[in-house]
Amino acid sequence: MANTNIKKVVLAYSGGLDTSVILKWLQDNYHCEVITFTADIGQGEEVEPAREKAQQLGIKPEHIFIEDLKEEFVRDYVFPMFRANTIYEGEYLLGTSIARPLIAKRLVEIAKQVGADAISHGATGKGNDQVRFELGAYALNPDIKIIAPWREWDLNSREKLLDYAQNSGIPIEKKGKKSPYSMDANLLHISYEGQILEDPAVEPQEDMWRWSVSPMNAPDTPEAISIEFKNGDPVSINGISLSPANLLDKLNKLGGKHGIGRLDLVENRYVGMKSRGCYETPGGTILLKAHRAIESICLDREEAHLKDELMPKYASLIYNGYWFSPERKALQALIDKTQENVAGKVTLKLYKGNVIITGRESKNSLFNQAYSTFEEDNVYNQKDAAGFIKLNALRFIIAGKAKK
């Protein structure tokens, strides 16, 4: 039921069907003033058309916020996450999850700026995004009011949304008879859900993929590249320094060309159900492998093992919407501390869906050939290993004797 005390609301607005219907629905049901916020985080589509659509629905020009957040997104969210080599449930690189905290942050900031009573989003009551948006918002403003139309209205199908749009004069074109895939894109990834993908046994159609060629159709010649890291973050490709957003965009193009980063996954949603989705994360797939390669020579063994132990917890926090939580921040501080000496260059080849590491070098390298060589050395006494093994085996020896 609409809260009559809400006079002004900030809506996360894409200009698409769902959020355009939400905009009109807020006006009709809450009788409030709507402020739209559209974030450009590298979704690969023009965001300016959202301005015209919002104006057509009666939004004042000064109440339309369209912001380029690509650099902030990659620098302050994607790169910190990749310092932990973050993967959810063994495969997913969290492309959707990591974008939600930034959007929530700006919604709350704009609400404060314009004196709004509430924020609103287009996430459904079945999905994870409602949790991510709202946990982020409450963490930043515990008094914020949130309107989630999908939990209030009865427009629970795309056909009903289209009917509402048509009856309300919302300027949206209906393309074809079937609903398209539900897609979410940003500079880190693009995801696909719905339609035939709702059957986990059905192979996705090849023409679904937008960012990458099929590995089978990728070039027959490997492409060699190098990535340089500083403090755990990539800073250049092939010796050319790039901003965080431009660097990730470049890797996306390189990876997509070689069929890298496709994923077909059934994941466990926060709300308890399983969900099948397909993802393209070409640049992130390259970065993850390159980052682990540079860490392999720069991190102490126990430091690296501790990171690996903490990573699933860190990934779960991001997936479940706890980016602004004290525990995520504490883990981030530890992770960032481990990255102080993670610097150097990784060389690799891209070939038919594969990222092949060919070398790594760093002035901070802990790899010492004098110790690790299989040839004769003057620094390691192999006899020392006997005492080490005997001490570690002592409890087994004592237990074995006791059984006799």
Instruction: Report pLDDT digits (tens) over 311-340.
Output: 999 999 999 999 999 999 999 999 999 999
Mean pLDDT of 141-164: 93
Q: Give the whole-angstrom CA distance, residue 108 versus residue 97.
A: 18
Query: Considering 100, 262, 328, 360, which one is annotated as catalytic?
Result: 100
pLDDT at 3: 62
Cα angle 251, 255, 257; round to 5: 120
**Superfamily per CATH, domain 189-299+341-361:** Argininosuccinate synthetase, chain A, domain 2 (3.90.1260.10)
Mean pLDDT of 148-176: 84
Query: Considering 18, 117, 233, 249, which one is annotated as catalytic?
Result: 18
Asked if 186 and 73 count as a contact pair (C-beta separation under 8 A), the reply is yes
14 is catalytic: no
**Per-residue model confidence as pLDDT tens digits over 104-146:** 999 999 999 999 999 999 999 988 999 999 999 999 999 999 9
Query: Considering 40, 117, 129, 233, which one is annotated as catalytic?
Result: 129
129 is catalytic: yes
Sign, Cα dihedral of 112, 116, 122, 127:
positive
Query: Is the predicted pLDDT of residue 179 greater than 60, yes or no?
Result: no
18 is catalytic: yes
Mean pLDDT of 268-297: 95
The residues facing 131 across adjacent strands are none
Mean pLDDT of 233-250: 98
pLDDT at 177: 43
Query: 17-29 and 158-168 helices cross at what angle (nearest 10)?
Result: 60
Q: Give the whole-angstrom CA distance, residue 269 versus residue 275.
A: 7
Structure tokens at 14: 């894409």
Mean pLDDT of 178-197: 86
pLDDT at 380: 84
Structure tokens at 273: 């159900």
Tell me, which fold does domain 8-77+93-180 have in CATH? Rossmann fold (3.40.50)
Pairing relationship of beta strands 344-351 and 354-361 according to DSSP bridges: antiparallel
Query: Is the predicted pLDDT of residue 176 greater than 60, yes or no?
Result: no
Q: Give the whole-angstrom CA distance, residue 295 versus residue 359.
A: 12
What does pTM read for this prediction?
Answer: 0.94
Query: Considering 76, 158, 179, 182, which one is annotated as catalytic?
Result: 182
Mean pLDDT of 259-282: 94
Q: Give the whole-angstrom CA distance, residue 94 versus residue 343.
A: 24
pLDDT at 377: 82
Q: Give the whole-angstrom CA distance, residue 391 versus residue 121.
A: 60
pLDDT at 384: 85
Mean pLDDT of 249-269: 97
The residues facing 73 across adjacent strands are none
Query: Is the predicted pLDDT of residue 259 greater than 70, yes or no?
Result: yes
Q: What is the mean pLDDT of the chain?
A: 94
Query: Is the predicted pLDDT of residue 195 greater than 60, yes or no?
Result: yes
**Per-residue model confidence as pLDDT tens digits over 3-51:** 668 999 999 999 988 999 999 999 999 999 999 999 999 998 889 999 9
154 is catalytic: no
For the chain, what is the HEC assignment? CCCCCCCEEEEECCCCHHHHHHHHHHHHHCCCEEEEEEEECCCCCCCCHHHHHHHHCCCCHHHEEEEECHHHHHHHHHHHHHCCCCCECCCECCCCHHHHHHHHHHHHHHHHHHCCCEEECCCCCCCCHHHHHHHHHHHHCCCCEEECHHHCCCCCCHHHHHHHHHHHCCCCCCCCCCCCCEEEECCCCEEEECHHHHCCCCCCCHHHCCCCCCHHHCCCCCEEEEEEEECCEEEEECCEECCHHHHHHHHHHHHHHCCCCEEEEEEECCCCCEEEEEEECHHHHHHHHHHHHHHHHHCCHHHHHHHHHHHHHHHHHHHCCCCCCHHHHHHHHHHHHHCCCCCEEEEEEEECCEEEEEEEECCCCCCCHHHHCCCCCCCCCCCHHHHHHHHHHHHHHHHHHHHC
Mean pLDDT of 64-85: 98
**Per-residue model confidence as pLDDT tens digits over 340-374:** 999 999 999 999 999 999 999 999 999 999 888 88
Domain ranges of the chain: 8-77+93-180, 189-299+341-361
